[in-house]
Amino acid sequence: MNLILIKKAFATIEFDMYALYRFVEAYSHINRESMFKIRKNGIFIEETDPSRIVLISIILNNNSYKFLRDGEVTLNLDDLEALLKCQSKDKTGVRFPFGEKCLYLDLYSKKFCSSINRSLLALDSKIEETHFEELKNLGYAGIFSLNKTQLNYILRNLGLYSEVVTLVQNPQEVIFKEIGSIGEQNINFSKERLKICTIDFSSVQESLEEESNKTYKNIIDTKTLSGTYSLSFFNIIGKIASILTNKDQISFELFTDFPLHALMQLSELGDSQVNYYIAPRTEEAEFDEDEDEF
C-alpha cells in the first residue's frame, strides 16, 4: 500500500484472517450492514438489530492498531464475509487500511508465501445511532460465566420445547429453563461447576428500595433472579463465542426483567471485545409477539 493512500486512511489494523472471518460470519446474523467508527482508542461498532431486540457493542483493537484520524466507514457484512472467507490451514493474516470510501484488504499467506490485495467499497447509507450509556449504567445483581464448551452443551440441548429460554440464578446454581406444550426441561449448572457465580445486591439496592412491587421484594428474600429471552438471539452468543479459546469465559450479567448482558473478550483478535444485550420477553410473547425492545 503506497504512502499517499496511507495518509488518506483513517487507521490500519491487522488480524488473523480466519479468526476474523468466523467473527464476521457470526456477527452478520444480527445485521447486514455495519458502521465502523474509527477512534483513537479503537474501532467501534454499536447498533441494534432490525427488530430492536438486541443491542451490540464491539471494540476492535490490538497491538497493530495505528490510528490516523477519526472517521466512519459503513460496510456490507455479507460482502466483507465473502472477501475474508478462508481456511485456518492457509495461515493467512490480513491488514486493513480504512479509507474514506473504501476498505482495503492486504492478505498474506505464510503457507503459500503469497500476497493478495482486495478492496471493498463503502456504502453511502447511514446506520441508526444507538444510545448505550443507559445500558452501560445498569446495575446487575447476578454474575456468572461459562466457557465455550459449557455454552455449546447448553445450546445443543435448548430449542426442544420453546422459542424462548428462561435463565434463573440463585446462590447455588444457574438454570436454563424451557416450557412448552409437550413438556419442560431444566439444564442445571451448580455453582461449583462455574468459574464465576455470584449474587450481590449492593449495586441495585437503592433502586430496589424505591420499588413497592412485590416481585422485587421477593427477589431480595429468595435471592433468585430470572429473565426470559429469545432463543434465536441467545444462540448468536454461541456463534460469536466460536472464536474463543477453551480457556476464555463468556461473562453474563442477570437481573429480573432486565436485558441479559453477555461480555466476551476476543483474545483471538487481540484486545477486542463484544458487549451483547438481549431485551427480556415474556413466554406469552412467543404467541402474541408482545415483546420488549430497546
Q: Supply the CATH number for residue 269's domain.
A: 3.70.10.10
User: 22-34: per-residue pLDDT in tens?
Assistant: 999 998 989 899 9
The bridge status of strand 11-16 relative to strand 92-98 is antiparallel
Q: Is residue 68 part of a domain?
A: yes
Quick one: pLDDT at residue 241? Answer: 94
Q: Mark whether 38 and 112 lie in a shared domain.
A: yes
Q: Mark whether 12 and 142 lie in a shared domain.
A: no
| pLDDT band, residue 282 (cuts 50/70/90) | low
User: 49-84: per-residue pLDDT in tens?
Assistant: 989 899 999 999 999 999 999 999 999 999 999 999
CA 124 to chain centre: 25
**What value does the mean pLDDT of the chain take?**
89
Q: Is residue 78 part of a domain?
A: yes
Q: Mark whether 12 and 114 lie in a shared domain.
A: yes
Quick one: pLDDT at residue 212? Answer: 55
Q: Is residue 293 part of a domain?
A: no
Angular region, 17: left φ>0, alpha ψ -120 to 50, beta rest: alpha
The more confidently predicted of residues 206 and 46 is 46
Q: Mark whether 144 and 70 lie in a shared domain.
A: no
What is the number of domains present in the chain?
2
Indicate whether 291 pLDDT > 70: no
Q: Is residue 57 part of a domain?
A: no
Out of 145-154, 196-205, 241-250, 277-286, least confident range: 277-286
Q: Mark whether 209 and 277 lie in a shared domain.
A: yes
Q: Mark whether 139 and 190 lie in a shared domain.
A: yes
User: 168-214: per-residue pLDDT in tens?
Assistant: 999 999 999 999 999 999 999 999 999 999 999 887 766 666 655 66
Average pLDDT over residues 141-151: 96
Q: Mark whether 34 and 7 lie in a shared domain.
A: yes
**How far is the C-alpha of 235 from the C-alpha of 105, rounded, in Å?**
30
Instruction: Supply the CATH number for residue 71's domain.
Output: 3.10.150.10
Q: Mark whether 151 and 77 lie in a shared domain.
A: no
The bridge status of strand 66-67 relative to strand 71-76 is unpaired
Q: Mark whether 280 and 229 lie in a shared domain.
A: yes
- Domain that includes residue 80, residue range: 3-48+63-121
| 114-121, strands of its sheet edge to edge | 66-67, 11-16, 92-98, 102-109, 114-121
Q: Mark whether 262 and 171 lie in a shared domain.
A: yes
Q: Is residue 128 part of a domain?
A: no
Quick one: pLDDT at residue 203? Answer: 73
Average pLDDT over residues 109-127: 90
Closest to 59 (Cα-Cα) out of 277, 269, 260: 269
Q: Mark whether 101 and 219 lie in a shared domain.
A: no
